[in-house]
Amino acid sequence: MTNQHQPAAPPHCGAAVVSEARALEWAVRLGAKSWVSARPNPPVGCVVLTRSGKCVGYGRHTSPGEPHAEVVALQMAGSQSKDSTVVVTLEPCNHHGRTPPCTERILKSGVRRVVYATKDPNPAAEGGSDFLKHHGIDVEHVPHRLADRLNAPHVTWSMKSRPHVIAKWAQSPEGNMCPPPTHGQWISSVRSRMEVHRIRGRVDAVLTGMGSVIADDCLLSPRNHKRRQTPLIAVASRSRSLPPTARVLENPSVELITEGNPLDQLKALQRLGAHVVLLEAGPRLLHAYWKANLIDEAWIFVGPKPMPDGTGRSPVPSPEKRLRGHPKGFTMDLGPDRLYQIPIESKG
Ligand SMILES: NC(=O)c1ccc[n+]([C@@H]2O[C@H](COP(=O)([O-])OP(=O)(O)OC[C@H]3O[C@@H](n4cnc5c(N)ncnc54)[C@H](OP(=O)(O)O)[C@@H]3O)[C@@H](O)[C@H]2O)c1
């Protein structure tokens, strides 16, 4: 097994006694390292604990065709797998894909207990938990917000057979997306824009509408943050071609998407190899996706400056209200702005 399966060890691996909750945090951190490279597979992380709570193995699934996280971690644990607890970010798979089922490996290793965070909805892989229980293993489902976020693209892919859509936009405190001419171009701060560059370098495609290209002449590249990959830049227009001087054309990979229906646009991006799409459009295309129920996560950057004369009503004028009571939602300050990350229960 190569070193690429063995990222930095969880702190105190092999020494201190840790709780299952702590081990799950480590497993999530391991999985996060594979968020881009594992696609279209889920970015799973796994930690193996002895009965006394000593970490004896850990691993992650790095890329399709490579061993699953449980296999990497159990291999490291070796004979200490017997009687151990496997703590993993996703329910162990139960099917023969490119690699044998993890459930079989868990059984063969003599594992006593399995703790997993996200239930696998993939019809081809599900049932791992029931299979293990049936064979006498103590299995516990412990939901974890960050594990669910890591697995969200896999869940979308499994349930809807289309790319996962993260819609990102900026708005004023009143919920307006387009500033009046007196305001200047930016609603959000440099710090927020850095965060946007970070996520651009982790998605497969950035999608915008021709309206934004014409109005803002945006570049849309992940230039101000270390990137994990360079996304395809896609511009949706049913009838217009890209102006030859448009700055988006400076990107290495640019596509004009001529389909008019948002689902057809996503299918076109899927054919181009996209599993995770960042929708960075103006109000027209954004509302088309909102109405079509094709947004899985909303990332809403609220700037501090009032813009009562602004236009382009946001689909979520009061993110604070929408976030309330949403256990998987999250909010944080970014410089003078506030970012709301809210999963949207999309149907399409
Ligand atoms: N606050 C923010 O986060 C943010 C982000 C981006 C832009 N903006 C602002 O938004 C304004 C531009 O707004 P916009 O709404 O025109 O931009 P847009 O939503 O990015 O682009 C709209 C264009 O997308 C194309 N399109 C393709 N399929 C569509 C569909 N199913 N439904 C609707 N449109 C579709 C249409 O062009 P065709 O007619 O050629 O098909 C349409 O004119 C600018 O002022 C810009 O500064 C704000």
List pLDDT tens digits, range 15-25. 677 899 999 99
Residues 222, 231: contact at Cβ < 8 Å? yes
Nearest atom (ligand 1) to Cα of 187: 1
By residue range, what is the domain housing residue 209? 162-343
CA of 333 to the centre of ligand 1 (A): 27
Q: Tell me whether residue 279 is in a domain.
A: yes
Whether residue 88 is found in the same domain as residue 167: no
The pTM of this model reads: 0.94
Cβ atoms of 42 and 61 closer than 8 Å: yes
Same domain for 143 and 203? no
CA 326 to ligand 1 centroid distance, Å: 29
At residue 1, the pLDDT reads 36
Looking at the fold, whether 142 and 167 belong to one and the same domain comes out as: no
Find the CATH number of the domain harbouring 43. 3.40.140.10
Question: Is 285 in contact with 234 (CB distance < 8 Å)?
Answer: no
Q: Are 235 and 256 in contact (CB under 8 A)?
A: yes
Domain edge (last residue) among 149, 170, 189: 149
Residue at which a domain ends, from 114, 149, 184:
149
Residue 36 pLDDT > 50:
yes
| Residues annotated as catalytic (active site), given as ranges | 70
Residue nearest to atom 10 of ligand 1 (CA): 282
Number of H helices, E strands in the chain: 10, 15
Q: How many domains does the chain have?
A: 2
Q: Which atom of ligand 1 is nearest to the CA of 283?
A: 15
Mutate to test the pocket of ligand 1, among 240, 265, 284, 305 (most ligand atoms within 8 A of CB): 284
Q: Is 191 exposed, middle or buried (0-12, 13-18, 19+ CB in 10 A)?
A: middle
255 and 305 part of one domain:
yes
> Ligand 1 atom 43: the closest Cα is on which residue?
211
Q: What is the band of 2 on the pLDDT scale with cuts at 50, 70, 90?
A: very low
DSSP state of 119: -
Q: Cβ–Cβ contacts within 10 Å for residue 186, how many?
A: 13
Same-domain status, 138 and 176: no
Does some domain include residue 156? no
Contacts 24+ apart (CB under 8 A), 285-289: 285/207, 285/208, 285/209, 285/211, 285/212, 285/236, 286/167, 286/169, 286/177, 286/315, 287/315, 288/262, 289/165, 289/167, 289/262
Same domain? For 319 and 197 the reply is yes
CA-nearest residue for atom 7, ligand 1, is 282
Q: Identify whether residues 280 and 306 lie together within a single domain.
A: yes
Q: Are residues 136 and 175 in the same domain?
A: no
Q: Which residue has the least CA distance to atom 38 on ligand 1? A: 237
Do 145 and 166 fall within a single domain?
A: no
* pLDDT for residue 125 is more than 80: no
Tokens 């229906």 identify what position? 261
Residues 179, 318 within the same domain? yes
Is residue 154, in this structure, part of any structural domain at all?
no
- 64 and 201 assigned to the same domain: no
Whose C-alpha lies nearest to ligand 1, atom 46? 212
Q: Which atom of ligand 1 is nearest to the CA of 177?
A: 1
Residue finishing a domain among 119, 149, 179: 149
Query: What's residue 4's pLDDT?
Result: 46
Give the binding-site residues of ligand 1, using a 6 Å CB cut-off.
169-171, 177-178, 187, 208-212, 215-216, 236-240, 260, 262, 281-285, 288, 312
Collapsed DSSP state (helix, strand, coil) of residue 46: strand
In a 13 Å sphere around the CA of 233, the CA atoms on its Cβ side amount to: 23
What is the bridge-based pairing of β-strands 113-118 and 176-178? unpaired
The answer to whether the peptide bond before residue 10 is cis (omega within 30 degrees of 0) is no
Whether 155 is in a domain gets the answer no
**What are the pLDDT digits (tens) for 316-334?**
999 999 999 788 899 999 9
Centre of ligand 1 from the C-alpha of residue 37, in Å = 31
Best of 168, 187, 193, 210 for a ligand 1 pocket test (most atoms within 8 Å of beta carbon)? 210
Domain membership of residue 35 (yes or no) is yes
Quote the ligand 1 centre to 245 CA distance (angstroms): 19
User: What CATH number corresponds to the domain at position 261?
Assistant: 3.40.430.10
pLDDT tens string 192-239: 999 999 999 999 999 999 999 999 999 999 998 899 999 999 999 999
Q: Are residues 182 and 141 in the same domain?
A: no
Q: Does residue 143 lie in a domain region?
A: yes
Per-residue pLDDT of 251-308, as tens digits, reads 999 999 999 999 999 999 999 999 999 999 999 999 999 999 999 999 999 999 999 9
Asked if the model's pLDDT at residue 10 lies above 90, the reply is no
CB 235 within 8 A of CB 215: no
Q: Quote the tokens at residue 69.
A: 């996280």
Q: Is residue 348 part of a domain?
A: no
Token pair belonging to 127: 């049932």
Report CA torsion sign: 303, 309, 312, 313.
Answer: positive
